[in-house]
Structure 1
């Protein structure tokens, strides 16, 4: 509401500085050029002008002086200055007292804000005045309102009585706020309303005896919009955040959060931003959870810092009080409820030279157990610490040289046991505490490649040398005789040779009657890695990689930290064909297929320490990989990806989906995902107990659809065919009001563990120009409902030239 400060429109410069300027028009077709002037590409504000530098222009049908310092303008009277305009049927100005009177159809404009009233009185000397029955329009926010009376108490303070305000630009606003008295303090960017009542459709829905709010979009301390909802895990929820604008570069939000089933939780978030650093500290604490009968808490500390000289540092620390914290307190969306491992790290990085970089990192994990699963999930290894060094130079005499080196100390946390719903570290009294060996790993991989790239084809030979050394604490007394024969130190040196090649062919064709360009892209990748016995080495952060189009052309079937490097003498064939629109290049259809052929007779490298696989390979061929993506029309598309066993023709993995989006706010998608038990993917001859089958099979339906021109439905349904249960359901409705408001209702039911579910129900009323009441479901809908679009459009930012004359 700073736009009320049109009053210095007449300012300290005397009205005697009346100027009238005329200019003869330029001849037709001739451009007027003023020496020293430049054409402005857009409207610009004139800043830093002193009052005496601004000329004042007077307009009126009649202008008179009484000889005693009083000037009167009648009939369409206007007083115009570069920063403001005042209009009225009659304007009187007393030069001695500084008093200005506007009578009849008074209007004042400044910074795109307008105030109108039948009578306006203002004193230039004391900077005080009064406006009778003002109507106002605010350029900064687009809001408008009326009042019985306005008092101008100083240049930075205005008071409105019996005000009615709305940020809705419609002729008949759907919402408005009334207040018996509002004080606007422009230097403090603060408005204070007494006895404020929010009306929606003429019905009062929110009232407060005292309310503060920012006048502009700048930040200001005060209460934020409350949120409310209901979940089956925590009951009725209500929160009322309070925002502290402590400084321009840091702030704090305090959020009391009430759960009817659990109690009162206190949360907070502190944010800061400095020259070269920033961070966010957040957390929540509940002293006594009535359901769990214990304290519940969570916190996260994030910081990044640029130290100069190519150095940077940071940390991200996450912790919760217990394994079920996110399952009990996650209100909307799966997100954190599905997290089973919370990583924390601190790092120091260096990249001060063109070809080299280094890093020092400490990383730990809090592993969250799901007691409904019936088994204990072993945590990941902590890295205490990890030192990395990388050198890379590309195009060095046509060679690409890359060297990646690391030294990591791994530590496995002690095993934990459950007591009163909480997992505790075990002591040594009669119980084994170790879960896996600890140790230090040095790893170095240096490779040299020589890419030969020509028009339509490429060949890339590559040679690398991987060196590793392990120093391992096997804890033979605690972990048992399994590791009795293992040496503390183990070294491995392996060459890795590969040859990657590909070609691209094109031809003009048609697809569905449209001119197209078809490509044919064959690819051939050969990999050779000799066998090394690695059975006496630990496994810290390595697992079997998922076989897909990217991994089929990779150097190792194992992913992670290279604790295992599989022997290889193999070639991978790949073929892709695409159909592109001839005019736009848009990809209408793509077909892909790949398979790997093995020349060696067996794969002896396994992930299990102490185990060597001596039997023949299950097959000389890898699984078939096939993929199809098709945009059959501009609004209908299908996709299909699958991995088939070449011996049995059974599927090992499959993903398929269709999507139809005929118009805005209307979309439907259906998808299917399947993955066989990992043991059967590795060897189809393995028999799996149906009760322990770890296969995954899901169906997902998602969509948004208009039920009328005002009501829209959206939702998602996930069903696990393997578990024979619904894992997530979302159903929501949006009602788009006539003007400036939208109502949303969203219900969600989702699995938080193997046997437990949570149900949440939320309402939201969005009032354009004011904000939203209730919990905001927009993040959930955008993330989970494929193709979701909000029914409202973002309003354009207002400018100071909104009502420019």
Structure 2
């Protein structure tokens, strides 16, 4: 074989020729060959954007396709030249032979290649006609860059007219691993046409899905593609026909239909929703949806998003006119808004309104949604500095529990003013702070009230590398102004004032340890917390927004076991807790963690809510928490709250997870809280093969002897598509009424997903689920 020779180098700077051709064949420095790679790159990009379809990137990331071998329809060309250095804008033309055919035509023969940046093109023979300003590539044309590789049987162009034609094109999109072909491609300027085009992310020998179009036109100026006589194929069967459609070919947003969803449930019958996206302006858009519920009728929805220099937000709502089951209009309206006034101040609003107290039961998809008892709305101005936080807000509530009447609705806070400040003084020896709140309470049934709560405090922190001691002294002052029906003992302006003293201290010990040849670190972390709050009869204070916190490990170190300011718990107690960890020395991974904590009550707390009886216990519940993570396959966590005085368990919970094979996992958990709940929860993700997985969950109430949620189904996944089908039984009302539904989702890699979205449901139901 004759050695290949470098024919020339053409460098363009600011549209002018900076250097002439080098050796062997004289090339006019104005030759359009220097633009050939550029034109081909534009064609490659257009092929990617037009045929890969909008949403391809998101569709690729939504599912874990890691087990798939890339569908290399066109492997990397082995004779491709390496990319030119960054910043080198030269076009390098090389061939084995070059000669003049006549005074205007030059022919390059023998493995002709053109290099420009990271773009490479090769062809056996290239003829350039300078007089006509045309070129013809005879034989198979190869092109590759970081985004695409393609082969074409024939290529010709007219650079002066900005025209390129290719025949019988086969392409490989590298990032999306999509591939396809077109019988003819014509590019003129920023516009192009493809005939008999096909795109798929499947290998050609197993085309499980493909999108085909008789004619696909693209316009890079407008960023819009148009397909005529298009169809989606599953295998060789057309399942969806598009006589005409437009789609975006770049990142510019375009109005158009989004993928529909489909489900069947016992509560609503067949459920079909078709969303339509409206690109209204660069800084705001909207999505409208038409939803058909077989048992209820047509439901309409909308979402409006906006973004300005200082503000952003989402306004959304749904409307079901004349529900076929209930005979009345139903809907939901919501606004979430933020405005930034300055680096320190902003306004926020979260406003919600629902038509009726059964809305979430009928249109929610989980027991959590169905059990929503209160719908909150708030708006306010919020500020933050280095040492302070402030807010002026309003909060109202809608009762969404049909069992309760309006007397159970919380007080509205119209308005609520909060200010907090904390700053080191005297260097870092002393920290001073203040927490304050002033609220005007309003209620549509109960009387009104006003409350001011102040809590100044000082801290004296001492810290070392492995220890700390933080004493704190605070004073809490709370004053009320009450209407007649709320005052107790005839006092409309009750006042509570009391000091609060606490000391928080801890130490950290560690030692090296070797078990079975593994280097470990063993830690011991004791902590003491003393709290003293003198007794104060608070029974004459109303309950406006105060509740008792659910007991947990964190409450052992709180200065108040109540939320809100209407109760400050009396305390004379010492909490002792210790945490021990076993960690790998080199990775820091925690293999075993164990925590034990308990409060010793030197005097019983007489602070209670109305209807409660003060206890006489000497000890808080004993808290025991354990976490075990000895391998990548087994994980175990447990929490126990044991009432030592009464000799019974207040809370018991554990969770065991086992991972097996490559993607399989099983979860088993148990939850018990005295006089409230006792539940078993099991879930499994079982791979039958690399393509098939079974999914299942069963959540059972032992207390009520009933199933709270059960779902089961399968996933089938190949290297270019996935199918998920499952059935679900779940409790959707507070009275325990259950509903059944069937969910189906089809996902086409590189194109998108159709049907009911199952990902969020499975992620919630199966801990560790990964698509």
Q: Secondary structure of 2:769's match?
A: coil
Partner of 1:698: 679
State the Cα distance separating 1:523 from its structure 2 match.
2.4
Q: Secondary structure of 1:132's match?
A: strand
In 1, Cα distance between equivalents of 2:437 and 2:298: 47
Partner of 2:258: 224
The answer to whether the aligner puts 1:342 opposite 2:340 as a matched pair is no
Q: 1:380 to 1:126 in 2, by over 3 A?
A: same
In 2, Cα distance between equivalents of 1:469 and 1:45: 75
Native 8 Å contact 1:437 1:538 kept in 2: no
Partner of 1:552: 556
Partner of 1:290: 324
Following superposition of structure 1 onto structure 2, how do residues 592-631 of structure 1 map, counting pairs within 5 Å?
A: 592-600=595-603, 602-608=604-610, 617-631=615-629
Correspondence for 2:695 among 714, 717, 720: 714
Where in structure 1 are there 5+ consecutive unaligned residues? 1-7, 22-41, 415-433, 477-482, 678-694, 791-805
State the Cα distance separating 1:242 from its structure 2 match.
1.7
Partner of 1:324: 358
State the Cα distance separating 1:769 from its structure 2 match.
1.0
Partner of 2:732: 752
State the Cα distance separating 1:506 from its structure 2 match.
3.2
Native 8 Å contact 1:486 1:536 kept in 2: no
Q: 1:107 to 1:455 in 2, by over 3 A?
A: closer
Runs of 4+ in 1 over 6 A off after TM superposition: 8-16, 42-47, 374-377
Q: 1:280 to 1:46 in 2, by over 3 A?
A: farther
Partner of 1:97: 132
Partner of 2:569: 566
Partner of 1:190: 224
In 1, Cα distance between equivalents of 2:343 and 2:120: 54
Between 253-262 and 654-663, the greater mean CA deviation after superposition: 654-663
Native 8 Å contact 1:388 1:407 kept in 2: yes
In 2, Cα distance between equivalents of 1:744 and 1:205: 18
Correspondence for 2:97 among 42, 62, 76: 62
Native 8 Å contact 1:243 1:253 kept in 2: yes
In 2, Cα distance between equivalents of 1:515 and 1:120: 65
Partner of 1:175: 209
Partner of 1:385: 415
Between 696-705 and 333-342, the greater mean CA deviation after superposition: 333-342
Partner of 1:444: 454
Following superposition of structure 1 onto structure 2, how do residues 357-396 of structure 1 map, counting pairs within 5 Å?
A: 357-371=389-403, 378-394=408-424, 396=427
Between 93-102 and 740-749, the greater mean CA deviation after superposition: 93-102
Partner of 1:521: 525
In 1, Cα distance between equivalents of 2:472 and 2:700: 46
1:211-231: per-residue Cα shift (whole Å, max 9, x none)? 222223543322222211111
Correspondence for 2:588 among 585, 588, 608: 585
In 1, Cα distance between equivalents of 2:175 and 2:581: 51
The RMSD of aligned alpha carbons is: 3.0
In 1, Cα distance between equivalents of 2:470 and 2:18: 82
1:326-355: per-residue Cα shift (whole Å, max 9, x none)? 22123x44453332222111121122x422
Partner of 1:423: none
Following superposition of structure 1 onto structure 2, how do residues 37-436 of structure 1 map, counting pairs within 5 Å?
A: 55-82=90-117, 85-108=120-143, 112-138=147-173, 141-152=176-187, 154-168=188-202, 172-330=206-364, 332-351=365-384, 353-371=385-403, 378-394=408-424, 396-412=427-443, 414=444, 434=445, 436=446
State the Cα distance separating 1:155 from its structure 2 match.
0.7
State the Cα distance separating 1:46 from its structure 2 match.
7.0
Q: 1:545 to 1:180 in 2, by over 3 A?
A: same
Provide the TM-score with structure 2 as the length reference.
0.85
1:112-149: per-residue Cα shift (whole Å, max 9, x none)? 44443333232112223432222234467543322222
Q: 1:327 to 1:59 in 2, by over 3 A?
A: same
The answer to whether the aligner puts 1:653 opposite 2:657 as a matched pair is no
Between 628-637 and 653-662, the greater mean CA deviation after superposition: 628-637
Native 8 Å contact 1:19 1:56 kept in 2: no
In 2, Cα distance between equivalents of 1:513 and 1:16: 68
Q: Secondary structure of 2:360's match?
A: helix
Where in structure 2 are there 5+ consecutive unaligned residues? 1-9, 25-81
Partner of 1:3: none
Q: 1:463 to 1:14 in 2, by over 3 A?
A: closer
Q: 1:69 to 1:108 in 2, by over 3 A?
A: farther
Correspondence for 1:486 among 484, 490, 500: 490
Q: 1:612 to 1:199 in 2, by over 3 A?
A: closer
In 2, Cα distance between equivalents of 1:115 and 1:508: 59
Q: Secondary structure of 1:489's match?
A: coil
The answer to whether the aligner puts 1:530 opposite 2:534 as a matched pair is yes
The answer to whether the aligner puts 1:740 opposite 2:750 as a matched pair is no
Q: 1:80 to 1:635 in 2, by over 3 A?
A: closer
Q: 1:66 to 1:520 in 2, by over 3 A?
A: closer
State the Cα distance separating 1:731 from its structure 2 match.
1.6
